[in-house]
Structure 1
Protein backbone atom coordinates (compact mmCIF):
# COMPACT_ATOMS: atom_id res chain seq x y z
CA UNK A 1 0.00 0.00 0.00
CA UNK A 2 1.12 3.58 -0.73
CA UNK A 3 -0.20 6.85 0.63
CA UNK A 4 -0.06 9.53 -2.07
CA UNK A 5 -0.61 13.28 -2.00
CA UNK A 6 -3.20 14.82 -4.34
CA UNK A 7 -3.61 18.61 -4.43
CA UNK A 8 -6.62 20.46 -5.89
CA UNK A 9 -5.99 24.04 -7.02
CA UNK A 10 -9.51 25.23 -7.90
CA UNK A 11 -8.64 26.38 -11.41
CA UNK A 12 -5.00 27.39 -10.78
CA UNK A 13 -3.16 24.09 -11.19
CA UNK A 14 -1.02 25.07 -14.17
CA UNK A 15 0.07 28.30 -12.46
CA UNK A 16 0.86 26.34 -9.29
CA UNK A 17 2.98 23.81 -11.20
CA UNK A 18 4.93 26.65 -12.82
CA UNK A 19 5.39 28.38 -9.46
CA UNK A 20 6.74 25.17 -7.87
CA UNK A 21 9.06 24.64 -10.86
CA UNK A 22 10.48 28.14 -10.47
CA UNK A 23 10.61 28.24 -6.67
CA UNK A 24 11.67 24.72 -5.65
CA UNK A 25 12.68 22.97 -8.87
CA UNK A 26 9.56 20.81 -9.26
CA UNK A 27 9.31 18.83 -12.48
CA UNK A 28 5.97 18.16 -14.19
CA UNK A 29 5.96 14.51 -15.28
CA UNK A 30 2.44 14.25 -16.73
CA UNK A 31 -0.37 16.69 -17.52
CA UNK A 32 -3.85 15.89 -18.89
CA UNK A 33 -6.32 18.63 -19.75
CA UNK A 34 -10.08 18.09 -19.52
CA UNK A 35 -10.38 18.62 -23.30
CA UNK A 36 -8.04 15.66 -23.90
CA UNK A 37 -9.88 13.27 -21.58
CA UNK A 38 -12.77 10.86 -22.01
CA UNK A 39 -14.82 13.34 -19.94
CA UNK A 40 -14.38 16.26 -22.38
CA UNK A 41 -18.00 16.21 -23.59
CA UNK A 42 -19.28 16.52 -20.00
CA UNK A 43 -16.92 19.35 -19.04
CA UNK A 44 -18.05 23.00 -19.18
CA UNK A 45 -16.44 24.97 -22.02
CA UNK A 46 -14.58 27.30 -19.65
CA UNK A 47 -12.87 24.25 -18.07
CA UNK A 48 -11.73 22.50 -21.28
CA UNK A 49 -8.15 23.86 -20.98
CA UNK A 50 -7.94 23.28 -17.21
CA UNK A 51 -5.83 20.47 -15.75
CA UNK A 52 -7.79 17.28 -15.07
CA UNK A 53 -4.74 15.45 -13.71
CA UNK A 54 -1.02 16.11 -13.35
CA UNK A 55 1.88 14.37 -11.70
CA UNK A 56 4.91 16.33 -10.55
CA UNK A 57 8.12 15.61 -8.66
CA UNK A 58 9.64 17.59 -5.81
CA UNK A 59 12.98 16.13 -4.81
CA UNK A 60 12.47 12.36 -4.67
CA UNK A 61 8.69 12.51 -4.14
CA UNK A 62 5.88 12.51 -6.66
CA UNK A 63 2.66 14.39 -6.04
CA UNK A 64 -0.55 14.61 -8.04
CA UNK A 65 -2.57 17.72 -8.80
CA UNK A 66 -5.69 18.95 -10.55
CA UNK A 67 -7.69 22.10 -11.13
CA UNK A 68 -10.55 20.29 -9.40
CA UNK A 69 -13.91 19.09 -10.56
CA UNK A 70 -14.97 21.68 -13.13
CA UNK A 71 -15.58 24.44 -10.64
CA UNK A 72 -17.07 22.43 -7.76
CA UNK A 73 -15.84 23.90 -4.47
CA UNK A 74 -14.15 21.42 -2.11
CA UNK A 75 -15.71 20.77 1.30
CA UNK A 76 -14.58 19.02 4.43
CA UNK A 77 -11.18 18.40 5.93
CA UNK A 78 -8.58 21.08 5.30
CA UNK A 79 -5.97 20.34 7.99
CA UNK A 80 -2.73 19.36 6.28
CA UNK A 81 0.70 20.73 5.43
CA UNK A 82 3.37 19.70 2.96
CA UNK A 83 6.75 19.39 4.63
CA UNK A 84 10.16 19.93 3.01
CA UNK A 85 13.24 18.66 4.85
CA UNK A 86 16.64 19.99 3.76
CA UNK A 87 20.23 19.44 4.87
CA UNK A 88 21.30 22.96 5.81
CA UNK A 89 20.04 26.34 7.00
CA UNK A 90 20.83 28.26 3.79
CA UNK A 91 19.00 25.75 1.56
CA UNK A 92 15.97 25.87 3.84
CA UNK A 93 15.95 29.65 3.92
CA UNK A 94 16.11 29.79 0.10
CA UNK A 95 13.15 27.41 -0.29
CA UNK A 96 11.16 29.15 2.45
CA UNK A 97 11.70 32.55 0.83
CA UNK A 98 10.78 31.26 -2.65
CA UNK A 99 7.62 29.46 -1.50
CA UNK A 100 6.40 32.36 0.62
CA UNK A 101 6.65 34.88 -2.27
CA UNK A 102 3.10 36.07 -2.80
CA UNK A 103 1.93 33.99 0.13
CA UNK A 104 2.14 34.41 3.89
CA UNK A 105 4.87 33.44 6.35
CA UNK A 106 3.13 31.99 9.42
CA UNK A 107 6.29 31.21 11.39
CA UNK A 108 9.35 33.07 10.09
CA UNK A 109 12.45 31.11 9.02
CA UNK A 110 14.52 30.70 12.19
CA UNK A 111 16.53 28.38 14.38
CA UNK A 112 14.45 26.55 16.99
CA UNK A 113 15.14 24.34 19.98
CA UNK A 114 14.49 21.21 17.86
CA UNK A 115 16.30 22.09 14.63
CA UNK A 116 18.78 24.52 13.07
CA UNK A 117 16.09 25.99 10.80
CA UNK A 118 12.29 25.90 10.61
CA UNK A 119 9.44 27.96 9.18
CA UNK A 120 5.78 27.62 8.24
CA UNK A 121 4.04 29.39 5.38
CA UNK A 122 1.05 29.34 3.11
CA UNK A 123 1.99 29.79 -0.54
CA UNK A 124 0.14 32.01 -3.02
CA UNK A 125 -2.19 29.12 -3.87
CA UNK A 126 -3.22 28.54 -0.25
CA UNK A 127 -1.10 25.40 0.20
CA UNK A 128 0.44 25.18 3.68
CA UNK A 129 4.14 24.25 3.93
CA UNK A 130 6.61 23.47 6.69
CA UNK A 131 10.31 23.81 5.81
CA UNK A 132 12.90 22.40 8.19
CA UNK A 133 16.54 21.40 8.49
CA UNK A 134 16.83 17.75 9.29
Structure 2
Protein backbone atom coordinates (compact mmCIF):
# COMPACT_ATOMS: atom_id res chain seq x y z
CA UNK A 1 0.00 0.00 0.00
CA UNK A 2 1.33 3.45 -0.93
CA UNK A 3 1.66 6.03 1.79
CA UNK A 4 -0.50 9.13 1.67
CA UNK A 5 2.60 11.33 1.66
CA UNK A 6 3.55 10.09 -1.80
CA UNK A 7 0.13 10.31 -3.40
CA UNK A 8 -1.63 13.28 -4.89
CA UNK A 9 -5.03 13.45 -6.55
CA UNK A 10 -5.55 16.06 -9.27
CA UNK A 11 -8.70 16.75 -11.28
CA UNK A 12 -8.00 16.02 -14.96
CA UNK A 13 -10.19 17.63 -17.64
CA UNK A 14 -10.18 16.31 -21.21
CA UNK A 15 -11.39 18.61 -23.96
CA UNK A 16 -11.41 18.26 -27.74
CA UNK A 17 -9.93 21.54 -28.93
CA UNK A 18 -11.01 24.04 -26.26
CA UNK A 19 -8.69 23.23 -23.31
CA UNK A 20 -6.63 26.41 -23.71
CA UNK A 21 -9.69 28.64 -23.94
CA UNK A 22 -11.34 26.91 -20.97
CA UNK A 23 -8.18 27.12 -18.84
CA UNK A 24 -7.71 30.85 -19.58
CA UNK A 25 -11.39 31.47 -18.81
CA UNK A 26 -11.35 29.54 -15.52
CA UNK A 27 -8.15 31.21 -14.28
CA UNK A 28 -9.69 34.63 -15.02
CA UNK A 29 -12.57 33.89 -12.61
CA UNK A 30 -10.49 33.43 -9.46
CA UNK A 31 -8.15 36.00 -7.89
CA UNK A 32 -5.38 33.43 -7.48
CA UNK A 33 -6.10 31.60 -10.75
CA UNK A 34 -2.94 30.87 -12.70
CA UNK A 35 -1.68 28.80 -15.58
CA UNK A 36 1.29 26.84 -14.23
CA UNK A 37 2.50 25.04 -17.35
CA UNK A 38 1.33 24.44 -20.93
CA UNK A 39 2.63 22.12 -23.61
CA UNK A 40 1.04 22.43 -27.05
CA UNK A 41 0.96 20.15 -30.08
CA UNK A 42 3.37 21.17 -32.82
CA UNK A 43 3.40 20.75 -36.59
CA UNK A 44 2.99 17.14 -37.67
CA UNK A 45 2.25 15.83 -34.18
CA UNK A 46 -0.66 13.62 -33.21
CA UNK A 47 -2.93 16.48 -32.04
CA UNK A 48 -4.09 19.62 -33.81
CA UNK A 49 -1.26 22.13 -33.97
CA UNK A 50 -1.48 24.73 -31.18
CA UNK A 51 -3.98 22.83 -29.04
CA UNK A 52 -3.08 21.72 -25.51
CA UNK A 53 -1.07 18.52 -25.23
CA UNK A 54 -0.94 18.92 -21.45
CA UNK A 55 -1.45 21.82 -19.06
CA UNK A 56 -1.56 22.49 -15.34
CA UNK A 57 -3.50 25.37 -13.79
CA UNK A 58 -4.64 26.43 -10.32
CA UNK A 59 -7.96 27.77 -9.03
CA UNK A 60 -8.48 28.73 -5.39
CA UNK A 61 -5.39 26.77 -4.36
CA UNK A 62 -6.51 23.61 -6.18
CA UNK A 63 -4.42 22.19 -9.01
CA UNK A 64 -6.04 20.93 -12.22
CA UNK A 65 -4.70 19.30 -15.37
CA UNK A 66 -6.21 19.50 -18.84
CA UNK A 67 -5.60 18.30 -22.36
CA UNK A 68 -7.08 18.49 -25.82
CA UNK A 69 -7.48 14.86 -26.77
CA UNK A 70 -5.92 14.01 -30.11
CA UNK A 71 -8.58 11.30 -30.42
CA UNK A 72 -12.30 12.05 -30.72
CA UNK A 73 -14.40 10.28 -28.10
CA UNK A 74 -18.08 9.37 -27.88
CA UNK A 75 -18.23 10.86 -24.38
CA UNK A 76 -17.79 14.23 -22.73
CA UNK A 77 -18.27 15.75 -19.28
CA UNK A 78 -21.25 14.79 -17.13
CA UNK A 79 -22.85 16.57 -14.15
CA UNK A 80 -22.31 13.45 -12.04
CA UNK A 81 -18.83 14.93 -11.44
CA UNK A 82 -18.75 18.66 -10.76
CA UNK A 83 -16.52 21.40 -9.41
CA UNK A 84 -18.01 22.53 -6.09
CA UNK A 85 -17.24 26.12 -5.08
CA UNK A 86 -17.96 27.44 -1.60
CA UNK A 87 -18.49 31.13 -2.19
CA UNK A 88 -17.60 33.57 0.58
CA UNK A 89 -20.32 36.14 -0.16
CA UNK A 90 -23.24 37.08 -2.40
CA UNK A 91 -21.02 39.07 -4.78
CA UNK A 92 -18.82 36.04 -5.44
CA UNK A 93 -21.66 33.61 -6.14
CA UNK A 94 -23.40 36.15 -8.42
CA UNK A 95 -20.13 36.88 -10.27
CA UNK A 96 -19.27 33.22 -10.84
CA UNK A 97 -22.82 32.35 -11.87
CA UNK A 98 -23.02 35.26 -14.32
CA UNK A 99 -19.69 34.32 -15.92
CA UNK A 100 -20.18 30.54 -16.04
CA UNK A 101 -23.81 30.54 -17.26
CA UNK A 102 -23.63 32.06 -20.78
CA UNK A 103 -23.70 29.34 -23.40
CA UNK A 104 -24.13 26.67 -20.77
CA UNK A 105 -27.02 24.83 -19.18
CA UNK A 106 -28.75 25.68 -15.90
CA UNK A 107 -29.28 22.54 -13.79
CA UNK A 108 -30.50 24.27 -10.61
CA UNK A 109 -31.02 28.05 -10.82
CA UNK A 110 -29.53 30.25 -8.10
CA UNK A 111 -31.94 30.01 -5.24
CA UNK A 112 -32.66 28.99 -1.68
CA UNK A 113 -32.82 25.25 -1.15
CA UNK A 114 -33.26 23.23 2.04
CA UNK A 115 -29.55 22.45 2.21
CA UNK A 116 -28.39 25.98 1.31
CA UNK A 117 -29.72 29.54 1.45
CA UNK A 118 -28.05 30.33 -1.92
CA UNK A 119 -27.05 27.62 -4.36
CA UNK A 120 -26.79 27.12 -8.11
CA UNK A 121 -25.68 24.26 -10.35
CA UNK A 122 -24.82 24.60 -14.02
CA UNK A 123 -22.83 23.22 -16.91
CA UNK A 124 -20.63 25.90 -18.48
CA UNK A 125 -20.18 26.40 -22.23
CA UNK A 126 -17.36 23.83 -22.23
CA UNK A 127 -19.59 21.20 -20.59
CA UNK A 128 -17.90 21.30 -17.18
CA UNK A 129 -20.38 21.14 -14.29
CA UNK A 130 -20.15 23.65 -11.41
CA UNK A 131 -22.00 23.76 -8.10
CA UNK A 132 -21.91 27.20 -6.46
CA UNK A 133 -22.79 27.39 -2.78
CA UNK A 134 -22.89 30.43 -0.51
CA UNK A 135 -21.30 29.59 2.84
TM range (shorter): 0.7 to 0.9
Residue 27 of structure 1: how far off its partner (Å):
1.6
- Whole-Å separation in 1 of the counterparts to 2:30 and 2:81: 19
- Structure 1 window deviating more from structure 2 (86-95 vs 118-127): it is 86-95
Corresponding position of 2:3: none
Please state if 1:6 is matched with 2:12: yes
* 2-structure distance, mates of 1:42, 1:82: 32
Of 17-26 and 96-105, the range deviating more from structure 2: 17-26
SS of corresponding position for 1:111: strand
| Alignment partner, residue 16 of structure 1 | 22
Q: Which has the higher helix share?
A: 1
Q: How large is the RMSD of aligned CA atoms in angstroms? A: 2.1
Normalised by the size of structure 2, how large is the TM-score? Answer: 0.82
Distance (whole Å) between structure 1 residues aligned to residue 27 and residue 77 of structure 2: 27
| TM-score after normalising by structure 1 | 0.82
Correspondences of 1:101-120 after superposition (within 5 Å): 101-120=102-121
* In 1, Cα distance between equivalents of 2:117 and 2:88: 10
Which residue does the alignment assign to 2:72? 72
Q: Is the 8 A contact 2:109 2:120 kept in 1?
A: yes
1:34 matched to which residue of 2?
A: 41
Q: Residue 48 of structure 1: SS of its match in structure 2?
A: coil
Q: Find the aligned partners of 1:24 and 1:105 in 2 and give their Cα distance.
A: 21
Equivalences, count: 127
Find runs of 4+ consecutive structure 1 residues off by over 2 angstroms: 21-26, 74-79
Cα distance in 2 for partners of 1:77, 1:111 equals 26
| Structure 2 unpaired stretches of 5+ | 1-6
Distance (whole Å) between structure 2 residues aligned to residue 30 and residue 77 of structure 1: 23
